[in-house]
Amino acid sequence: MDATARLLATALTNRIHEPNIEAGFERFAALTDGVIDYGAFCDAIAACLRNGLIDDPIRLPEGALQCHWHLALTQAGVEVARRSR
């Protein structure tokens, strides 16, 4: 399974909400037994953003003092992840 497919499959079944991308990657790596390195993870995030498969992961919730990093699939991402299973 390539990095993008693994990212989508993991996001479909797990919640990744962390303070930053580094912590998001650590959570992702823990969920996937570290089969993808940080560079491939970042490339997969960028590809998913370009293709409209995930929402922008950097979020500043109302009233928050800092941004958070949240991996969330769009409806198109959910459909691709389900087809890839």
Which domains are delineated in the chain?
Answer: 3-84 (1.10.10.10)
Number of Cβ within 10 Å of residue 66's Cβ equals 8
Separation between Cα atoms, residue 48 and residue 67, nearest integer Å: 20
Render pLDDT for 35-78 as a digit per residue (tens, 0 to 9). 999 999 999 999 999 999 999 999 877 877 788 899 999 999 99
Confidence (pTM): 0.90
Separation between Cα atoms, residue 76 and residue 68, nearest integer Å: 23
